[in-house]
């Protein structure tokens, strides 16, 4: 379970205030896979980072039961001078997971080849996302935060990513941001719309997608 309690996040951009979360109170139930929908710039990625603890809200609180992943697709938590393998070992030790097992899984899954032993700072954005996704899938979390990572790579890699993620969601919760409505229909059972700093929650993901499509309709 994740609960947002009077959550507010405001940015100051070139002297203007932009509020992406305006006193939001909402509970994401245990076992749910939530599609997080909204326009570009609505604050979806900011919300994931606040839930993960990587970003502080302006005010309000976030309560959770169980472990939460970092935002998969966000590479900022990796040390730029360490290799992909060294970063993987470091994170595995933090979570108390067998490092050899994690290294083997991530090396095979992320398909980085020789780059796995090169510094993280040399990685492209796609390579960073694949490393983050592979490492996230190697570590058991109660809730996974997914931010567009399934759009990375070729069709075979996307298929593999979706299969692994669906396997994880048989036992875990998730909050998923994706521009692919098909993926959201496939892996999510409920949805939340973030619009003008407010959140609307739907127990049926199809209702959330219908609302989102209406918001995006220029007519």
Angle at 182 between CA 7 and CA 9, to 5 degrees: 15
Mean pLDDT over 159-169 rounds to: 87
How far apart, in whole angstroms, are the C-alpha atoms of residue 197 and residue 184? 22
| 11 contact partners, CB below 8 Å, separation of at least 6 | 17, 18, 19, 20
In a domain, 180, yes or no: yes
The reply to whether 22 falls in a domain is: yes
User: Is 11 part of a structural domain of the chain?
Assistant: yes
Tell me whether strands 198-202 and 190-195 are parallel, antiparallel or unpaired.
antiparallel
- Please state, in angstroms and rounded to a whole number, the distance separating the CA atoms of residues 44 and 36: 7
Question: Please, what is the average pLDDT of the chain?
Answer: 91
Q: How many domains does the chain have?
A: 1
Structure confidence at residue 163 (pLDDT): 87
Nearest to 44 by CA among 216, 219, 193: 193
Neighbouring C-beta atoms of residue 209, cutoff 10 Å: 20
In a domain, 39, yes or no: yes
Percent of the chain scoring above 90 in pLDDT: 71
* pLDDT in the model for residue 153: 65
Q: Give the residue-averaged pLDDT of 21-25.
A: 97
- According to DSSP, the β-strands at 2-13 and 16-28 are antiparallel
Apex 131 CA angle, 95 and 73, nearest 5: 95
Q: What is the pTM of this model?
A: 0.87
In a domain, 35, yes or no: yes
Q: Quick check: is 42 in a domain?
A: yes
pLDDT in tens, 32-41: 999 999 999 8
Domain-embedded: residue 109 = no
* Residue-number span of the structural domain to which 63 is assigned: 1-67+144-152+173-219
Q: Is residue 185 part of a domain?
A: yes
**For residues 35 and 188, is the Cβ–Cβ distance under 8 A?**
yes
> Strand 143-147 relative to strand 68-72: parallel, antiparallel, unpaired?
parallel
Which domain CATH number covers 48?
3.40.50.300
User: Which two structure tokens, joined as six digits, stand for 129?
Assistant: 């996302």
pLDDT band, very low/low/confident/very high, at 75 (cuts 50, 70, 90): low
């Amino acid at each position: 379970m994740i609960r947002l309690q009077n959550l507010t996040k405001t940015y100051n951009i070139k002297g203007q205030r932009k509020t992406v979360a305006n006193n939001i109170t909402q509970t994401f139930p245990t076992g749910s896979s939530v599609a997080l929908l909204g326009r570009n710039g609505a604050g979806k990625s900011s919300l994931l980072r606040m839930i993960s603890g990587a970003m502080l809200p302006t005010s309000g609180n976030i309560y959770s039961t169980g472990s939460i992943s970092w935002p998969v697709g966000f590479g900022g938590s990796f040390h730029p001078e360490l290799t992909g393998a060294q970063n993987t070992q470091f994170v595995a030790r933090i979570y108390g997971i067998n490092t050899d097992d994690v290294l083997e899984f991530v090396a095979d899954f992320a398909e980085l080849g020789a780059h796995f032993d090169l510094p993280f700072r040399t990685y492209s954005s796609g390579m960073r996302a694949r490393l983050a996704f592979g490492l996230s899938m190697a570590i058991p979390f109660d809730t996974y935060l997914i931010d567009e990572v399934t759009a990375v790579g070729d069709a075979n890699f996307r298929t593999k990513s979706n299969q692994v993620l669906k396997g994880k969601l048989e036992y875990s919760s998730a909050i998923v941001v994706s521009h692919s409505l098909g993926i959201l229909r496939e892996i999510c059972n409920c949805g939340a719309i973030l619009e003008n700093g407010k959140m609307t929650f739907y127990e049926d993901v199809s209702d959330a997608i219908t609302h989102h499509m209406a918001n995006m309709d220029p007519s």
